[in-house]
């Protein structure tokens, strides 16, 4: 009997030993799940690409002119990718961004628009491009939010329609910009850095503030994470979805203006495959395709990685097909890594809940 009385403390200790908290995940894996860890990984990838460029292309890659070329090329697709980040974070997708860029560039460079710009101010061309991009985004948002059309289908329809309308307006001809003030401004530089790069930086900074420091950004995360829960929390999900696609269209309008300034043309062929490049940059940057998590800083690094990759391939006279293969492999690796980390997050969250 005395032995039975003496046993409960031992059993209690044993029981306590069996319910000890689960071991914390390894520090390296835990670091990769943080925004800082993912950004460090992107910086390392970019540095490695630059080292490859230095080794294979030598002094040609390391010149200041080549660095400015990379930044200038990254600026246009970078602005499109900022808009795509908001859409994907909100649980959507937009396949029409390239076509919207083409439509905005064509509409803003018609003879009538350019004549009005010469009579008044070139800002009229900018306003036209922004309005056209925003209007196309509004159509996407209304179809998806209120028409209940799947984002993939709605934006695919816009891709075909916007590209076709751009071809009709331009008669499939390249429209040359003759407004000197427009060309001088967007083709110029500020303290040695192209104006296009400054615009990209401003859009990225504004996007970061909106996504991370405003109610609009918090609602975007909520809608992308769980739209029904967001609705029950009082968020007007449909209205917010429309706003996200209008924002993406606005970014396409800005990109169209930048592309017009870089090429001094408006064309129905502008923006080819921009949707794929933007989605790739967003995914590489760490934004979840399923929504609920997004990062502007990661998107900027993703754009720089792909642009630098293209530059290295071009300097080494490698084919566009090889570039496409490399992009595809990078995208697959990034998605697999996202899934692995997301699975680890769910397991760790479940263990923590049981604890």
Q: In this predicted model, what pLDDT tens digit does every residue of 225-269 receive, in sequence order?
A: 999 999 999 999 999 999 999 999 999 999 999 999 999 999 999
Of the pLDDT bands very low, low, confident and very high (cuts 50, 70, 90), residue 161 is: very high
Of the pLDDT bands very low, low, confident and very high (cuts 50, 70, 90), residue 330 is: confident
pLDDT at 127: 95
Per-chain mean pLDDT for the chain: 85
Choose among 77, 66, 67: nearest CA to 262. 77
Q: Within 10 Å of residue 240's Cβ, how many Cβ atoms? A: 20
| pTM to 2 decimal places | 0.84
Of the pLDDT bands very low, low, confident and very high (cuts 50, 70, 90), residue 5 is: very low
Judged against a pLDDT cut of 60, whether residue 345 lies above it is answered with: no
The Cα–Cα gap between 277 and 82 comes to 12
The Cα–Cα gap between 277 and 262 comes to 19
The Cα–Cα gap between 110 and 247 comes to 24
DSSP state of 21: P
- Mean pLDDT (whole number) for 77-94: 96
Q: What confidence tens digit (pLDDT) does each residue in 114-151 have? A: 999 988 999 999 999 999 999 999 999 999 999 999 99
pLDDT at 315: 86
Q: What confidence tens digit (pLDDT) does each residue in 183-238 have? A: 999 988 888 899 999 999 999 999 999 999 999 999 999 999 999 999 999 999 99
Of the pLDDT bands very low, low, confident and very high (cuts 50, 70, 90), residue 46 is: confident
Pairing of strands 193-194, 189-190: antiparallel
What is the SS3 assignment for 176?
strand
The Cα–Cα gap between 62 and 355 comes to 53
pLDDT at 342: 57
Of the pLDDT bands very low, low, confident and very high (cuts 50, 70, 90), residue 52 is: confident
Tokens describing residue 72: 């200038």
What is the SS3 assignment for 34?
coil
CB distance 307 to 355 below 8 Å: no
- Mean pLDDT (whole number) for 39-51: 84
CB distance 219 to 230 below 8 Å: yes
Judged against a pLDDT cut of 70, whether residue 153 lies above it is answered with: yes
């Amino acid at each position: 009997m005395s032995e039975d009385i003496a046993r409960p403390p031992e059993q209690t200790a044993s029981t306590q030993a069996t319910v000890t908290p689960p071991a914390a995940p390894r520090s390296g894996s835990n670091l990769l799940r943080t925004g800082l860890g993912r950004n460090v990984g992107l910086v390392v990838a970019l540095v490695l690409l630059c080292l490859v460029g230095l080794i294979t292309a030598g002094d040609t890659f390391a010149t200041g002119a080549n660095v400015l070329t990379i930044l200038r090329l990254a600026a246009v697709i970078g602005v499109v990718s900022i808009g795509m980040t908001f859409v994907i974070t909100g649980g959507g997708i937009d396949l029409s961004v390239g076509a919207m860029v083409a439509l905005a560039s064509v509409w803003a460079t018609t003879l009538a628009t350019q004549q009005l710009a010469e009579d008044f101010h070139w800002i009229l061309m900018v306003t036209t491009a922004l309005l056209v991009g925003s209007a196309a985004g509004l159509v996407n948002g209304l179809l998806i939010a209120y028409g209940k059309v799947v984002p993939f289908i709605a934006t695919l329809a816009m891709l075909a329609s916007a590209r076709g309308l751009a071809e009709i307006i331009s008669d499939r001809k390249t429209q040359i910009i003759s407004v000197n003030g427009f060309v001088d401004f967007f083709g110029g530089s500020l303290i040695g850095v192209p104006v296009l790069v400054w615009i990209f930086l401003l859009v990225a900074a504004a996007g970061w503030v909106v996504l991370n420091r405003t109610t609009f950004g918090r609602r975007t995360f909520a809608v992308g994470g769980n739209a029904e829960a967001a609705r029950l929390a009082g968020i007007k999900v449909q209205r917010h979805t429309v706003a996200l696609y209008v924002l993406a269209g606005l970014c396409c309008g800005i990109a169209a203006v930048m592309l017009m300034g870089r090429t001094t043309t408006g064309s129905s062929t502008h923006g080819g495959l921009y949707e794929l490049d933007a989605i790739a940059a967003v995914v590489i940057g760490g934004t979840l395709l399923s929504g609920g998590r997004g990062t502007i800083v990661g998107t900027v690094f993703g754009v720089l990685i792909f642009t630098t990759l293209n530059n290295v391939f071009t300097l080494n006279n490698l084919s566009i097909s090889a570039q496409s293969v490399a992009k595809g492999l990078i995208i697959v690796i990034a998605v697999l890594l996202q899934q692995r980390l997301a699975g680890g997050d769910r397991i760790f969250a479940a263990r923590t809940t049981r604890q």
